[in-house]
Structure 1
Amino acid sequence: MARSRTEADVSFLMDLYVMKDYDLPYTSIRNATITNTPSQDSRDFNYGLSDPRPNILQGISVQDLPSHLQHHSLYREEPGLAFSHLAIEFKKRDGNLHQATYQAAYYGAVLVHARARALAEARANGTGTASTATLDKAAAETAVLTCVTDGQVAAVYRHHHCSRDGRYHQTLVARESLLSHPNRGRELIRNAQDFARRKAYQLARLMGADLKEEEEEDGAVPVRARERALVTEVARGAKTPDGTAAALDKAAAAAAAAETSGPPTGSSLYFASSPVPWSVR
């Protein structure tokens, strides 16, 4: 990672050494503009900003969804992808990660809006077989993540919408060095990928899609335990000391006794329908 001088270098090395690949229908789309954005529903959502274009967006292939769910694609052209819960932004070494964080705030807001719109449709039209209580519980979850990295540092953020202030909040989950602690940084990103994949499948099933996740390879470290740990950390809004599975499992055990209601507080950034779309707290 120390030799990653350009965004293309970072992307190549992340693919080679860090990120996980998944079997279809879970897939990735790279450097494509999200054209099915909230601006179609609310003209003041992005205040004239260009449509978001994350380096990587992971979600479920539209071709594997029932026809009545394919309009949830984030793209108005092929290939389509829906129910995404993770966007990743790369910057070159010594690039502006602060700018990438603001870009991620925008991406996260778009994905949170898309998730909320899908759940609202399921509630209003009876799409799927989930009960109203199950849909309400899903709507209260903080499920969307973004990751920004320059090949040296990786940071994962969670995103949610707060109905009280109308803002889309972004909060740091964890940050790791890919140089000083490469294994911890790698596991942080993979945990985020696993978490987002699980949420994508859960949402698709709530919407009535008959999809099953692929099984873990024999001998692999159980992903579900790591996912459960990250889920509880995201739900609580706490900052993990590092991205290791052990640290996340420890945090999950501590969180198991504490039930949370509603979205977490203490956000560091927000994206809002206001004259200034992002602001730092």
Structure 2
Amino acid sequence: MDETQTRPELSQVEQVPANPPSRKRQLDNDDDAEPQAKRARTTRPTSEPVRLTRQNLARFNKIGKKKSSDPSDDSRSTKTKTTSTTSTGFADKARKNGILDPHGSRLANNLEDIRQQQAKSRATASPPESIYNNYVDRVDRAGNESTIVVATSKRLLKEYPTNYPDAYNRAFTNLPKDAGFNNGLSAPQPDFVEGLEKEEYRPFPVDDYIPGAALYQDDPRSITLPQIAGEWKGPAGDMREARMQSAYGGAAMVHARNQALAYMGEEDPPGHASVTTFTTDGTNLNLYAHYAAPSEEDEGALEYHQCLVSTTNLTGSYESFKEGRKHLRNAQDRAREQSYALKDQLKEYYKQQRHGGPHPVTEEVPSLPVPGTEPLDAYEDEYEVVEPQPVYQPTPPTSSKPKHSTSHHSHSHHSHSTPHSSKAPSSTHSSTHSSGGKRKASSSQSSHGSSGHVSKHRSYWKKDAMSGRYYHKHSDGTVSWLDEEDE
């Protein structure tokens, strides 16, 4: 009895109809089988099926065993990230885009404030030791990353009301591709992020004015302008890779925050970190602060800094578990407060812009003219005066004070209601001297006995070169004149 009779499954395989001659694949030799098998795994199915020969079955069985024994496959079973630092050159591309790791980053100016905020006592009671024991047991038993995420997230993270949702392992599909920090990289896809929904910003159309503020495209409930994100790794995961992935997610959140502030004409103080990320494998918890600053090497470019805030061994002891849990929840609270503050700022600014809200009005008073450079009638502003005086704009002071007459004072009272014109000075002073003799008259009166009194207050009174009288211009624009009685 031949082999096909004792093993019917082989007979069925060999009886599969072959492909048409023009499309037949040559898979019958061992040298070509493995490359074809690889293409079968990495390309989309076509209308040309692979022949089920004994050689191909053996190859596929070998491939299946190799795949199931690969420890890295299990940790990637729930997601596909192209931000791997080992397989896609992500770290090099990120560095070229200005994304720095903690070793290359400058410490944030407010780093100590962040540490104090994360270490402060919480109003709620600490979890009992039974929670810690249960946590350690679940982490020790976890076989892959997904189990770590489920086992740790609900025991470490604080849950907020529904208007402040979270999302797990979801790519930032609405991020602009030309933001600079993401050149040549796929969209960030943190394991965890939480923030306000886009609906909370209404009526401000946040995504129209701030590209990438909403994380997810075509999602009216998209998380918008979050301030915190996190990365997990499985039991055999690389925490350095998690750190780089958190640096990328942190840069995306910093970029969006800076765009929102720039829309309002504002910015965070230099070196001020507002965004937070964390990384954990269930055993170690690391918290980072993120900010952007101009590059010191490449003028006009930005660099995104990542600063280590704290690191905690969650399974080391009950006390360390409580400490790490407290730090993480305080970081969540800070991120939430900043999310609401930024949202309120944006909505208020949009309201003012839309309805013509109050804007600061600055009244600029023209500077005093310099004799010989501009005619006095070049200034058409009328100033409200304390005493009835000519309306024309005075000129800079000189060192002497002229003698005044009673008739001059009464005449200037009459001219107070007269609009300022080029004729006003000559008509006002006609009873004393002509306009051509003004400068000479002032010079001849420089020896008047009151000059000593004026010189003592020269910083207050200034001399009008046109009339020879002394005046003081107040901060509100009004002008007072020095009379002989004031002396």
Q: Secondary structure at the match of 1:2?
A: helix
Please name the residue that 1:4 is paired with: 142
Q: Which amino acid aligns with 2:285?
A: A
Q: Is the 8 A contact 1:38 1:114 kept in 2?
A: no
Shift of 1:64: 2.2
1:119 partnered with 2:261:
yes
Please name the residue that 2:342 is paired with: 203
Q: Which has the higher strand share?
A: 1
1:69-111 CA-partner distances (Å, limit 9, x unpaired): 4413121132401120111111102310100000111101000
Please name the residue that 1:191 is paired with: 330
1:167 partnered with 2:303:
yes
Please name the residue that 1:146 is paired with: 277
Please name the residue that 1:77 is paired with: 218
Please name the residue that 1:213 is paired with: none
1:27-74 CA-partner distances (Å, limit 9, x unpaired): 1111111022242x43x4323111111111111011222142441312
Shift of 1:145: 0.6
Please name the residue that 1:98 is paired with: 240
Q: Which amino acid aligns with 2:324?
A: G
Please name the residue that 2:195 is paired with: 59
Q: Is the 8 A contact 2:258 2:267 kept in 1?
A: no
Q: Secondary structure at the match of 2:288?
A: strand
User: Structure 1's 188 and 94: CA in aligned 2 closer, same or farther, altered over 3 A?
Assistant: farther
User: Structure 1's 24 and 141: CA in aligned 2 closer, same or farther, altered over 3 A?
Assistant: farther
Q: Is the 8 A contact 2:204 2:346 kept in 1?
A: no
Shift of 1:2: 2.6
1:221-242 CA-partner distances (Å, limit 9, x unpaired): xxxxxxxxxxxxxxxxxxxxxx
Shift of 1:164: 4.0
Q: Distance in 1 between matches of 2:192 and 2:165?
A: 10
Shift of 1:208: 1.6
Please name the residue that 1:19 is paired with: 157
Considering Cα pairs closer than 8 Å and 6+ residues apart, tell me whether 1 or 2 has the greater RCO: 1
Q: Distance in 2 between matches of 1:140 and 1:122?
A: 19
**Which of 282, 286, 299 is the equivalent residue of 1:155?**
286
Q: Distance in 2 between matches of 1:164 and 1:98?
A: 24
Q: Distance in 1 between matches of 2:294 and 2:176?
A: 16
Q: Distance in 1 between matches of 2:153 and 2:348?
A: 29
Q: Secondary structure at the match of 1:145?
A: strand
Q: Distance in 2 between matches of 1:136 and 1:169?
A: 16
Q: Distance in 2 between matches of 1:164 and 1:54?
A: 26
Percent identity between matched residues is 31
RMSD: 2.0
Shift of 1:140: 6.1
Please name the residue that 1:252 is paired with: none
Please name the residue that 2:121 is paired with: none
Q: Is the 8 A contact 1:18 1:189 kept in 2?
A: yes
User: Structure 1's 138 and 197: CA in aligned 2 closer, same or farther, altered over 3 A?
Assistant: farther
Q: Which amino acid aligns with 1:118?
A: A
Q: Distance in 2 between matches of 1:178 and 1:144?
A: 23
Q: Distance in 1 between matches of 2:292 and 2:216?
A: 22
Q: Is the 8 A contact 1:146 1:156 kept in 2?
A: yes
Farther-moved stretch of structure 1 (25-34 vs 102-111): 25-34
User: Structure 1's 203 and 187: CA in aligned 2 closer, same or farther, altered over 3 A?
Assistant: same
Q: Which amino acid aligns with 2:291?
A: H
Q: Is the 8 A contact 1:38 1:110 kept in 2?
A: no
Q: Secondary structure at the match of 1:197?
A: helix
Q: Distance in 2 between matches of 1:137 and 1:73?
A: 20
Q: Is the 8 A contact 2:228 2:277 kept in 1?
A: yes
Q: Is the 8 A contact 1:18 1:186 kept in 2?
A: yes
Shift of 1:136: 3.8
Runs of 4+ displaced beyond 4 Å: 137-140
Please name the residue that 1:178 is paired with: 314
Q: Distance in 1 between matches of 2:174 and 2:140?
A: 37
Q: How many residues align structurally?
A: 197
**TM (normalized to structure 1)?**
0.65
Q: Distance in 2 between matches of 1:137 and 1:118?
A: 11
Q: Which amino acid aligns with 1:101?
A: R
User: Structure 1's 38 and 161: CA in aligned 2 closer, same or farther, altered over 3 A?
Assistant: farther
**Which of 216, 230, 253 is the equivalent residue of 1:88?**
230
Rg larger for: 2
**Which of 97, 107, 116 is the equivalent residue of 2:249?**
107
Q: Which amino acid aligns with 1:57?
A: V
Please name the residue that 2:364 is paired with: none
Unaligned regions of 5+ residues in structure 2, if any? 1-138, 208-212, 297-301, 350-487
User: Structure 1's 114 and 58: CA in aligned 2 closer, same or farther, altered over 3 A?
Assistant: same
Q: Is the 8 A contact 1:30 1:56 kept in 2?
A: yes
